[in-house]
């Protein structure tokens, strides 16, 4: 089914590496099937569980899907994921023929946030390593909100994510600290490394 630029709703941000969004807007395709697409596309890569781990754009699906199939990329995190999922990678078409490929890609990257292995996020922030986002502490280190969302009922997550997406950087830093302090002490102890890395960055923002 062709998805026009107008028919695609504005993507909603998802925050935290474990606030996983699974794609249900259209059937997933194999890399081989996706390579037959002739439109310019914004696409997501996912595993058998449907959780999108990479968002990309291309005007040549045949060439791009061949690169994914042969695991040709400078992105180490993406290379590792593709290698682990050989033969099981699925493609979801997020948008066809957008007026502005770059802007459309940024919107969809913003939707999935740091569940992605994209090197650059919606506001030109790295989602995988050395992020400029004050509350991010690097690959594999959850921020408090991501940890809390893991334990949040599914029906409550959209409203929480929407509220988070509207926060300023300073508001988000304060929010992360509130979430951390609301966690049981046993869970809070897991965030020593996060505090060590993200703490000084957030403190600088909050004191500005």
The CATH number of the domain holding residue 76 is: 3.40.1440.10
Q: What is the pTM of this model?
A: 0.52
Query: What is the enclosing helix (H) or strand (E) of 109?
Result: helix 101-112
The answer to whether residue 84 sits within a structural domain is yes
The answer to whether residue 59 sits within a structural domain is yes
Check whether residue 57 and residue 101 sit in a common domain. Answer: yes
**Average pLDDT score over residue span 45-72:** 92
**How many Cα atoms within 13 Å fall on the side-chain side of residue 162?**
6
Query: Helix, strand or coil for residue 150?
Result: helix
Per the structure, the complete domain to which residue 50 belongs is given by: 29-115
From CA 133, how far away is CA 126, in angstroms rounded?
8
The pLDDT > 90 percentage for the chain reads 35
Check whether residue 37 and residue 100 sit in a common domain. Answer: yes
Rounded alpha-carbon distances, angstroms, from residue 6 to 34, 54, 73, 129, 149:
21, 23, 31, 34, 31
Domain count, the chain: 2
pLDDT higher than 90, residue 121: no
The answer to whether residue 134 sits within a structural domain is no
The answer to whether residue 127 sits within a structural domain is no
Check whether residue 53 and residue 101 sit in a common domain. Answer: yes
Q: Which position has the higher pLDDT, 24 or 70?
A: 70
Check whether residue 104 and residue 40 sit in a common domain. Answer: yes
The answer to whether residue 82 sits within a structural domain is yes
Check whether residue 102 and residue 157 sit in a common domain. Answer: no
pLDDT tens digits, one per residue of 6-57: 444 444 444 433 344 555 545 799 999 999 999 999 999 998 888 899 999 9
Check whether residue 38 and residue 93 sit in a common domain. Answer: yes
The answer to whether residue 69 sits within a structural domain is yes
Q: Rounded to the nearest 5 degrees, what angle is found at the Cα of 22, between the Cα atoms of 19 and 24?
A: 150
The answer to whether residue 23 sits within a structural domain is no
Q: Which residues lie below 8 Å from residue 143, measured CB to CB, with a gap of 6+?
A: 16, 135, 136, 137, 176, 194, 198
Check whether residue 108 and residue 155 sit in a common domain. Answer: no
The answer to whether residue 122 sits within a structural domain is no
Least confident of 39-53, 114-128, 156-170, 187-201: 114-128
From CA 140, how far away is CA 70, in angstroms rounded?
26
Q: Counting Cβ atoms within 10 Å, is residue 145 exposed (0-12), middle (13-18) or buried (19+)?
A: buried
Check whether residue 108 and residue 173 sit in a common domain. Answer: no
Nearest Cα to 199, choosing from 148, 141, 129, 119? 141
Check whether residue 148 and residue 83 sit in a common domain. Answer: no
């Amino acid at each position: 089914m062709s998805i026009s630029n107008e028919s695609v709703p504005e993507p909603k941000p998802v925050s935290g590496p474990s606030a996983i969004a699974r794609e249900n807007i259209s059937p997933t395709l194999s890399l081989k099937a996706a390579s037959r697409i002739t439109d310019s596309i914004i696409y997501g890569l996912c595993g058998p569980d449907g959780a999108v781990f990479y968002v990309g754009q291309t005007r040549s699906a045949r060439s791009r899907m061949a690169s994914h199939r042969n695991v040709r990329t400078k992105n180490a995190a993406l290379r590792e994921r593709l290698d682990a999922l050989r033969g099981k990678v699925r493609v979801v078409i997020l948008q066809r023929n957008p007026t502005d490929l770059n802007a459309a890609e940024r919107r969809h990257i913003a939707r999935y946030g740091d569940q992605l292995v994209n090197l650059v996020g919606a506001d030109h922030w790295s989602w995988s390593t050395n992020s400029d986002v004050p509350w991010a502490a690097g690959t594999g280190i959850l921020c408090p909100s991501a940890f809390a969302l893991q334990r949040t009922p599914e029906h409550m997550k959209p409203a929480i994510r929407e509220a988070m997406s509207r926060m300023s950087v300073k508001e988000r830093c304060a929010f992360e600290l509130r979430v951390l302090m609301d966690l049981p002490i046993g869970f809070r102890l897991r965030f020593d490394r996060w505090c060590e890395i993200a703490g000084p960055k957030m403190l600088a923002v909050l004191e500005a």
